[in-house]
Amino acid sequence: MYQELFFPVIDTERLTLKPLVIDDSGSLLEIFSDPEVMRYWNTAPWATIQDSIDFINESNDSMRRQESLILGVHLKSTGELAGKCMLFGYDKESKRAEIGFGLGRSCWGKGYIGEAGEALVQYGFDSLGLRRIEAEIDPDNQPSAKALEKLGFSREGLLRQRWEVNGVVSDSAMYGRLVSDHPAQHN
């Protein structure tokens, strides 16, 4: 029973969140090889289809070990893979995890992060029993900051010079949301 918690299918009004499969590798590569999509990530853009296949295999292994939840974000209208969303760094004893997202550019500005994000947050709180969900973003990434704030996350601090990717040093803004932050939304 507990194993299924890490391989859910979550439906929202316009999206289906579900585990990635090898058939998603081409779409994943198209999204995550885009330098604009990867601009604020702590890794370089993907270069080959093997990067996608490795990501899918590592994601599913991590979910089998109950360490993370990594789901493809699919548009219900077309079945297209729009991106991925994740709860990772899962700490069962401390009841916390970190949230992350990545969407292809064609899906930006359509409210998909808010829709997928709230569904994933609720799943984390209600099904995984999380007390706290954290997010770490580049402080220059204003679209992500706005999306997190719309999702009820509070900015909690700044970690200076946290990452270096391709010779570029960047800070991290830390955000958090507690299950008790919005009690009206949690039944």
User: Tell me: the pLDDT tens digits for 92-116?
Assistant: 999 999 999 999 999 999 999 999 9
3-state secondary structure of 59: helix
For 9, 52, 59, 121, 169, the CA distances from 116, given in Å and listed in that order, are 12, 21, 18, 9, 30
d(CA 43, CA 28) in angstroms, rounded, equals 15
d(CA 4, CA 152) in angstroms, rounded, equals 27
- What are the boundaries of each domain within the chain? 2-180
Q: Quick check: 124 pLDDT over 90?
A: yes
Position 1 scores a pLDDT of 42
User: Tell me: the pLDDT tens digits for 137-181?
Assistant: 989 889 999 999 999 999 999 999 988 877 888 889 999 999 999
What pTM was computed for the model?
0.89
CATH class (in words) of the domain with range 2-180: alpha beta
